[in-house]
Amino acid sequence: MSRRDRRLRRFHEKRKKIIETVEEAPKKFTPTEKQRETKNPFLHFYNTQYKKLLIIPILMLLIAIIVIASQAITTGEFIHKAVSLKGGTTITIPTDKIININMLEDLLSQEFNELDIAVRSLTKAGTSTGIIIDTDIQEQKDLQTFLIFLESKIGNLGEYSTEHMGSALGASFFKETIIALLLAFTFMGIIVFLYFKTFVPSIAVILAAVSDIIVTLAIVNLMGIKLSTAGIAAFLMIIGYSVDTDILLTTRLIKRKEGTLFQRLINAMKTGLTMTITTMAVVILALIFTQSETIRQIMTILLIGLIVDIINTWIQNVGILRLYIDKKQNGKD
């Protein structure tokens, strides 16, 4: 063997050792997914007990349905409607007097116990500039009686204004908003099914959005929030946020193939939770600084919906998708 051949042989041997060292390095120094799960009890539990965790969103949904059904049986309506949805009169009274709105609401409710009355303050730059009274008064003579009693309690009403919405118009608007919600769900379902082309993942996305709406609505009812047209807009926003995170999750688990299933799930969770928490931070800031009751209602409902969506996306949807993927892989085996 010539000197040149010996040099080439040594070169190839060194090259082979370097390649083997590089290939073995991840195995020696990078912890595997299983090792990470063992070190992190939360990840281990989340990865292995996803079937048991499904009990949480299922119970939430069942309790929410019971709450909404109870509301419907007790009051005849499945939500607390504000004047803008059921019709009535809004009275705006500008005043610089300090008025205890809770005490005033109690007095009015005791005197006119057949009416639904809500009193809220009108503020500007943190300073009270008046009060707003929402009531389901329909007749002009009833309104005059109401104003006379109100004046006897708080004094001269000054240059007050009234805004009336008929019950037929309120009912019509409410019906149209329900139709808009149903259409949103319908078109969302069609687009999701066309994108994934499989039944179970598509149904999981739709179920998560439906669960978000039902559970959020139940919580809103328990809090006694009277839903206005602004509240309906908040529910439409919740559908958008829900679909966004669910499609992100489903795409990572179903369509992507790099890494293990659990690695793809954790990566999707990091992205999804970052989006949700960022939105929640903005919503909380808006709740702290806003003086508008309309914006406050939108942000309150949206915050509830985002918290509910975390559970329905990262527990409910994850559980359904993993059961689907496990069944699919077992079928191939």
> Range(s) for CATH 3.30.70.260 in the chain?
88-165
Could you list the mean pLDDT of each consecutive 10-residue stretch along the chain, which spans 333 residues?
64 62 47 55 87 95 95 86 78 83 86 82 74 82 87 83 72 77 81 83 90 95 86 87 90 85 91 94 90 86 96 95 87 59
26-32: Cβ within 8 A, 24+ apart = none
* Distances in whole angstroms, Cα of residue 23 to Cα of each of 10, 18, 174, 263, 309: 20, 9, 64, 21, 42
> Range(s) for CATH 1.20.1640.10 in the chain?
39-79+168-332
Residue 30's pLDDT is what? 46
User: Which of 277, 234, 317 is CA-nearest to residue 56?
Assistant: 317
Residue 19's pLDDT is what? 56
Residue 52's pLDDT is what? 93
DSSP H or E segment with residue 60: helix 55-75
CATH of domain 39-79+168-332: 1.20.1640.10
User: Which of 228, 222, 235, 232 is CA-nearest to residue 292?
Assistant: 228
Residue 2's pLDDT is what? 65
CATH of domain 88-165: 3.30.70.260
Please indicate, yes or no, whether the overall pTM of this predicted structure exceeds 0.85: no
